[in-house]
Amino acid sequence: MNTEKNIKTLIVKKPLKLDCGKTIKDFPIAYETYGSLNSKKDNAILIFHALTGDQFVTGINPATNKEGWWSYAVGPDKAIDTNKYFVICSNVIGGCMGSYGPSHKDPDQKIFGTNFPVITINDMVNAQYNLLDHFGIDKLFSITGGSMGGMQVLQFISNFPDKSKTVIPIATTSSHSAQNIAFNELGRQAITADSNWKDGNYTSKDTNPGKGLAVARMAAHITYLSKKGLQEKFGRKLQEREDLKFGFDADFQIESYLRYQGSVFVDRFDANSYLYITRAMDYFDLAKQFRGNLSEAFINTKAKFFIISFTSDWLYPTQENKDIVIALNSIGADVGFVEIESDKGHDSFLLDVPDFLNALKNFLDKSYEEN
């Protein structure tokens, strides 16, 4: 799974106390950078990835040999212009692209599996904060990310209010809804119900719960799209056949598409990591950390916020993004907001949606000019 020679790693020596009560130290954070840090060190953008992302934001991902997950938005002359900005992205802890996670070994040289501590969004950003020291960056120019990346953006600026000039949460929420938790639970159940999961010890038993993980991915993938988008792309089109076959093979293109999405996912992702990361998302409730008052999370920051949602995103709908805007306005914070018209669902932030990419570019470039 990991092509380890291509993975840059920072070993964090400093102990990190996790929300679950355990403390970790001497743990690896795998990261990648794009562009170069200028002499004033004021052009750095920290990008946080979503559930199944990794540190390989753009260009060819050496582990998958495919385009990075945010290639539409990040690169030379793109919205997040790497000719201008120094982009840093790291794999979250609990992940499976080199950062400390359940596929790593414990001090007794046994693979953690489900003995890895349960981590939270808060733990993820506290771990990633070490990258600022590593690069000698006092203040980031921006932090951004979509979906779970957006949750990390919100948590980061709450924890470190003066560490970024601008803050761009995209298609996200400040609190995981019952529906979000329900879909994640469906994915976890699919994994743990696979007899090859072996209570999380599949690696030592030389198996892999690939079927369960693929079903988890298929179910989740539906939530990233919109009904209209699916209908327009697939409708009732048949898969390489003239008529229905009266069986349970993939008659429809949408079935074949989902099966393919499931199978390629299994090749690049670890089932236990999927359990850990979805759990971190479910536990995310920023308002709860501030006795139910979300505004309190941002009371100490002077950063400039720009929040973006998408019309057809039903997983992290506009209203949940607007709730963050409302919390910021009620304390007089500097916040802009736009809802982008798109029928590509939650995945819109990863795709070629020109209105979104233009807004992102304009906000960043104009804010940087004012620096």
Q: Active-site positions? A: 147, 313, 346
Task: Choose between 255 and 365: whose C-beta lies nearer to other proteins.
Answer: 365
Q: Which of 36, 28, 31 is nearest to 7 (CA)?
A: 31
Q: Does position 177 bind other proteins by CB under 8 A?
A: no
Question: How many residues of this chain interact with other proteins, rule: CB under 8 A?
Answer: 23
Retrieve residue 117's tokens.
């501590």
Q: Does position 339 bind other proteins by CB under 8 A?
A: yes
- Smallest gap from residue 138 Cβ to other proteins (A): 24
Residue 345 buriedness (CB in 10 A; 0-12 / 13-18 / 19+) = buried
Q: Does position 329 bind other proteins by CB under 8 A?
A: yes
Which DSSP letter does residue 369 get?
Answer: H
- Smallest gap from residue 21 Cβ to other proteins (A): 37
Question: What is the C-alpha to C-alpha distance for residues 204 and 212, in angstroms, rounded to an integer?
Answer: 18
Retrieve residue 261's tokens.
């999405």
Task: Choose between 136 and 332: whose C-beta lies nearer to other proteins.
Answer: 332
Backbone angles phi, psi at 33, to 5 degrees: -130, 155
Q: Does position 330 bind other proteins by CB under 8 A?
A: yes
N-term to C-term CA, the chain: 42
Q: Does position 341 bind other proteins by CB under 8 A?
A: yes
Q: Does position 77 bind other proteins by CB under 8 A?
A: no
Question: What is the C-alpha to C-alpha distance for residues 339 and 341, in angstroms, rounded to an integer?
Answer: 7
Q: Does position 157 bind other proteins by CB under 8 A?
A: no
Retrieve residue 326's tokens.
């409302």
Q: Does position 292 bind other proteins by CB under 8 A?
A: no
The piece of 150-158, 209-217, 246-254, 322-330 that touches other proteins (CB under 8 A) is: 322-330
Pairing of strands 27-34, 16-17: unpaired
Retrieve residue 255's tokens.
């079935």
Q: Does position 171 bind other proteins by CB under 8 A?
A: no
Q: Does position 371 bind other proteins by CB under 8 A?
A: no
Among 115, 204, 362, 371, contact with other proteins (rule: CB under 8 A):
362
The piece of 73-81, 85-93, 252-260, 356-364 that touches other proteins (CB under 8 A) is: 356-364
Question: What is the C-alpha to C-alpha distance for residues 201 and 195, in angstroms, rounded to an integer?
Answer: 11
Count CB neighbours of 369 within 10 A. Answer: 7
What amino acid is encoded at 56 in this protein? F
Task: Choose between 13 and 366: whose C-beta lies nearer to other proteins.
Answer: 366
Q: Does position 319 bind other proteins by CB under 8 A?
A: no
What is the binding site for other proteins (CB under 8 A)? 304, 325-326, 329-330, 332, 334-341, 355, 358-359, 362-363, 366-367, 369-370
